[in-house]
Amino acid sequence: MIELRPFASLGQFKNEWLNARHHFSFGGYRDPKRMGFGRLRVWNDDEIAPGTGFDPHPHRDMEIITYIREGAITHRDNLGNEGRTEAGDVQVMHAGTGIVHAEMNLEPIPTRLFQIWIMPDRTGVAPGWGTRQFPREGDGLRLLASGQPEMGDALPLNADASVWAGSLAAGGEVRHAFGPGRGGYLVPINGAVTVDGVAVGPRDGVAISDLSEVTITAQEAVELVLVDIPV
């Protein structure tokens, strides 16, 4: 099953510094049909104005992945971690037993990112944070973060999930296989694709279930992010 969730149908929040779209219920946006997808609980599409950001606030028992689409974000937390993650790169925060962090756009341009929350397999794990650079060139999907045993240089997750991202040239194609009982949530960043023939526009969401494999075909040059999870 392929369920299209058009960008225009997503929840929205906007103030003087944050312009956000919510693929799932979050904050003041509530839709009982969009409370999550498997262990995927949050997928926020955020634009953060220069010199602003999220002041220190707490989290607990959640795996939080941030994929930077444009600009950069600077992370600080109460564990002493601090770092800057740029466009195309990814950071992972393990909220575990509790962490307090701030995420600030210290750049002169807006920062655009996806913030993805995945429920962990186990609660009460040690909190932590990490970031990693990944090359953006080349067609296909690259594994960025994973809780699977075979993960290569991907950032670790305390969840049975994997986060993939990459690019396709116009007309390019990639296949992604799902294990038994697994599915995915796919969002193209800046171009149009088809998923097994279903047309998907920029920043639309696609919930994929009950399929062993999908074929993603780029209608134009595109970057995309895919989360593979049990559903």
Find all residues with CB under 8 Å of 228, minimum gap 6, and list them: 161, 162, 163, 164, 176, 178, 182, 183, 184
pLDDT at residue 128, as a whole number: 97
User: 3-state secondary structure string, the chain?
Assistant: CEEEECHHHCEEEECCCEEEEECCCECCECCCCCCCECCEEEEEEEEECCCEEEEEEEECCCEEEEEEEECEEEEEECCCCEEEEECCCEEEEECCCCEEEEEEECCCCCEEEEEEEECCCCCCCCCEEEEECCCCCCEEEEEEEECCCCCCCCEECCCCCEEEEEEECCCCEEEEECCCCEEEEEEECCCCEEECCEEECCCCEEEECCCCEEEEEECCCEEEEEEEEEC
pLDDT at residue 36, as a whole number: 96
Give the range of the structural domain holding residue 37, as residue numbers without chain letter: 2-230
- Structural domains of the chain, count: 1
Find all residues with CB under 8 Å of 149, minimum gap 6, and list them: none
pLDDT at residue 137, as a whole number: 66
Q: By the 8 A CB rule, do 165 and 138 touch?
A: no
pLDDT at residue 70, as a whole number: 96
Give the residue among 183, 188, 190, 192 at the shortest CA–CA distance from 218: 192
Which strands form 213-218's sheet, in the order they lie side by side?
173-177, 213-218, 193-195, 198-200
For each of the chain's 231 residues, which pLDDT tens digit applies?
999 999 999 999 999 999 999 999 999 999 999 999 999 999 999 999 999 999 999 999 999 999 999 999 999 999 999 999 999 889 999 999 999 999 999 999 999 999 999 999 989 999 999 998 887 666 899 999 999 877 788 999 999 999 999 999 999 999 999 999 999 999 999 999 999 999 999 999 999 999 999 999 999 999 999 999 999
From the centroid of its chain, how far is CA 196?
A: 22
Would you give the end-to-end CA distance of the chain in angstroms? 12
Q: Which residue has the tokens 């219920």?
A: 25
CATH, residue 105: 2.60.120.10
